[in-house]
Amino acid sequence: MSLSEKIPKNPVLSCLSFGREGEPVPSILDAGEVRYLNRGSLAIAFALKHAGISSGDEVLIPAYHCLAMVEPVLWAGAQPVFFRIMGNTGLDLEDAERRLTGNCRVLIAPHYFGFPQDMLKAREFCDRHGLILMEDCAHAFFGGTAGHPLGSCGDYAIGSAWKFFPVDEGACVVSPRGRLGGSATKPMGFFSGIKSFLNTLEYAVKYRRLGWFNPVFRLAFRLKDGLWSMLKPKTAQNLPIKNENRGGSTGFDGNRVDLGMSRSSRMIMSASSKSRMSRNRRENYLKLLSRLGNLPGCRPLFGTLPEGVVPYVFPLVMENPEKVFPRLKEEGVPVIRFGEYLSEDMEKGLCRVSEDYSRRVFQFPCHQDLKPEELEWMMNKIEEALK
């Protein structure tokens, strides 16, 4: 069985990544004061630390979550309090209100798969109960809600760069109310920064995006692996954290909460074409929706793509996930499974929607760097797996 992914799951660096901008695209970076960090879970921890969350406090977290949302809360010494979501992934704020205690300090509101929550309702809820609102924009770097950029309604917002930009790591904390003050990040070490950039190039070479540079860089990667094996013991405390979860573990390390993003990732982010990113993601999503939206055995989680939404992935709800998943993996189709591992601290049966989606929602890439033939190949394989 082949388990290697035949097409890129994440954005890939190439000459096409950079180009002239079209219409300005609002992003989380427009929402307020920014701090750049290494990873999204660290960004959540950074914000919790800045807000003074500590032992005895409680944080409201939706029942549909990944462990990267829970681990920073536990690291801060706080207690996660889970509440339900609705079938459209909207927050069930009535259920959240039932679970409020005098110790609740924060509500985390994720924009699942790039589709915004009703942030005006979330803002009103938090103001009414004296809660800090944290917008989790890990799936929604671009776009807006209620006429404002994503991230601008919360007291804090966090974003995940590598899900949208062709980089190996990176995240950010944004404070729309300018509260970050003197909170500083620690620069990534020189060798760790070099490794992060080489990882970005290696991913591009793997999917043949660098043309005749590919053989040149293959040699460089062999040298990198040898050099890193010698340097790793000396620099392990400053490594960039890998951006993919394996077996439910996120690799969260509280000692790196202040670790900044590499300089190369910051440069690539700044130079990348945001209009291309937004345009291509929307076009790819609509192609997937048109082709797969009416197939037997599945349904799209979101049957429309509202204006201004820049999707992270294309989520499909599968009728028989246990049968379809091994077929897709055997063919090398990249499948993302957000929420596959829910917190063991959450009461079983608390939210049937989240437990169902944890098992049945598969997400497929729709990022800006998919080639037309790659997208076509993936749609064919999904159709075959569903048959």
User: What digits encode the pLDDT tens for the residues 293-324?
Assistant: 999 999 999 999 999 999 999 999 999 999 99
What element of type H or E holds 359?
Answer: helix 352-360
Contact 162, 40 (CB under 8 A): no
pLDDT value at residue 233: 54
Predicted confidence band of residue 198 (pLDDT cuts 50, 70, 90): confident
Alpha helix ranges (H) inside 102-156: 119-129
Report, as an integer, the average pLDDT of 122-146: 94
Contact 111, 64 (CB under 8 A): no
How far is Cα 25 from Cα 27, in angstroms, rounded to an integer?
6
Pairing of strands 148-149, 144-145: antiparallel
Q: Is the pLDDT of residue 241 over 60?
A: no
The structural domains of the chain, ordered by start, are: 274-386 (3.90.1150.10)
Report, as an integer, the average pLDDT of 2-18: 89
Predicted confidence band of residue 260 (pLDDT cuts 50, 70, 90): very high
pLDDT value at residue 183: 67
Report, as an integer, the average pLDDT of 288-294: 96
Quickly count: other Cβ atoms within 10 Å of residue 68's Cβ.
23
The mean pLDDT value of the chain amounts to: 90
What is the 8-class DSSP label of residue 145? E
pLDDT value at residue 235: 46
Cα distances from 220 to residues 41, 213, 368, 376, in angstroms, run 31, 11, 27, 32
pLDDT value at residue 184: 74
Predicted confidence band of residue 228 (pLDDT cuts 50, 70, 90): low
Cα dihedral sign for 248, 253, 257, 261? negative
pLDDT value at residue 269: 95
Report, as an integer, the average pLDDT of 147-168: 93
Q: Is the pLDDT of residue 360 over 90?
A: yes
Predicted confidence band of residue 76 (pLDDT cuts 50, 70, 90): very high
Predicted confidence band of residue 277 (pLDDT cuts 50, 70, 90): very high
pLDDT value at residue 249: 55
Half-sphere exposure in the Cβ direction for 1 (13 Å, CA) = 8
pLDDT value at residue 178: 72
Predicted confidence band of residue 244 (pLDDT cuts 50, 70, 90): very low
What is the 8-class DSSP label of residue 218? H
Closest among 288, 278, 286, 265 to 380, alpha carbons compared: 288
Q: What percent of the chain has pLDDT over 70?
A: 92
Q: Please state the length of the chain.
A: 387
Closest among 5, 43, 4, 10 to 200, alpha carbons compared: 10
Q: Is the pLDDT of residue 224 over 90?
A: no
How far is Cα 97 from Cα 378, in angstroms, rounded to an integer?
42
Q: Is the pLDDT of residue 182 over 90?
A: no
How far is Cα 174 from Cα 165, in angstroms, rounded to an integer?
17
